[in-house]
Structure 1
Amino acid sequence: MKWSFQELRIQAQDPLAIDTSIEISDEMQERSDEILAMSPVKVDGFVIYEEATVLAQLQIALDVTLPSSRSLEPVNVSMAFSINERYLPKGMETDIIDDEAVLQIEVEGNSVDLKRAIEDNILLHLPQQRLTAEEAEEQELPMGKDWDMMTEDSYRSSLKGEEKIDPRLAKLKDLFADEASED
């Protein structure tokens, strides 16, 4: 999954179609302690050489086993996402205008390593909240002595219920109450 700009320029007439599976679980486990296991990564898409740049548009699909964010029990997570990146040789500027979804990346050297790009994107797309089926169904969140866990929604609603009064102004409230009773 690594090509030089020269190789892709020679083949520039047609996009290079990619439809493969790659095994990168060992590399991913070295890069992240959170990854317990991982299926081979399904990669579909194309790479095309355009005006001294390389455009990669890929669809990625995989299953990864991660620890639960609550109990650290293993959780299998299916992931599917796209990678839209344009690779430029370092120091080069281009007049090509891509849509917002295409990320432009400067490459040191004269080759494009899509395997490394796929690894980076997998790490970026790992979900922060991962729950086992039982934890997802559970309505009550864990709690202990002097602490409890709450969802963002319940936290926001608890903030709305609290009236925040500046302690420096709290005495003024009593002042106006006295004047109202005198009238």
Structure 2
Amino acid sequence: MKWALAELNKFKNGQITFKETLDLESSLKLREPSILGVKDVFVEGFVQVDSTGYLAHIVVNTTIILPSSRSLEPVDIPLSLVVDEEYMTEAQLNALSDVSEEEKQLIMPLEKDLIDLTEAVEDYILLNLPLQVLTEAELSATELPKGDFWQVLTEDEVAHADNQDSEEKIDPRLAKLSELLVTDDEE
């Protein structure tokens, strides 16, 4: 999914459409070692060309295989993304006068006379990987995992345990020791 600007400029005030299947497994695994596998990446969209720049609209559909956050079992994660990127040459960026600096930061400057949408697709896939991955069994389980000397607690259980710890009374056998901690200000 690479186009030279000279090729795209033939479609000035028009657009070029595309529909492709990409094999990004090796490059995504290099960039994110936790990825176990990537099924084919289906991309469909267009690049609109005009005098102000190049607007790319891409719809990405794929399935990423990631390890479960609890058991490390492989889990298929379907991803469906919409990617919109705006590209401009240095001359086109400098010609913008009615655009704020913040808006200019959203525009991808072209360092070469080439647009490579594969990089944008990879970036968006990596940005949309979930932080918590669970198998179907782990999602439907009502009890959290535990072992001999450990257990997983929910946030509510941790907050409740913290409240109980703060409300616990001083052991009567140690109450006399607390009198030794009285400072001069309290006397």
Which of the five TM-score ranges fits, normalised by the shorter chain? 0.7 to 0.9
Give the secondary structure class of the aligned counterpart of 1:117: helix
Alignment equivalent of 2:160, drawn from 155, 158, 161: 158
In angstroms, what is the RMSD of aligned CA positions?
2.9
- Which entry has the higher C-alpha Rg, 1 or 2? 2
Q: Write the mapping of 1:1-183 to structure 2, written as runs, cut at 5 A.
A: 1-90=1-90, 92-93=93-94, 94=96, 103-144=106-147, 147-152=150-155, 154=156, 158=160
**Structure 1, gaps ≥5 residues long:** 166-183
Deviations 1:68-126 (A, max 9, x none): 111111001111010011012247243687xx9xx422232221110111111111011
Question: Deviation at 1:142?
Answer: 2.3
Give the secondary structure class of the aligned counterpart of 2:27: helix
TM-score for the superposition, normalised by structure 2: 0.73
Letter in 1 for 2:160: S
Distance 1:96 1:137 in 2: 53
Deviations 1:15-58 (A, max 9, x none): 11111211111211122111111111111111111224110111
Letter in 2 for 1:47: V
**Structure 2, gaps ≥5 residues long:** 168-187
Letter in 1 for 2:22: I
Give the share of equivalent positions with the same residue, in percent. 32
Letter in 2 for 1:15: Q
Letter in 1 for 2:59: Q
Give the secondary structure class of the aligned counterpart of 1:27: helix
1:40/1:62 contact within 8 Å kept:
yes
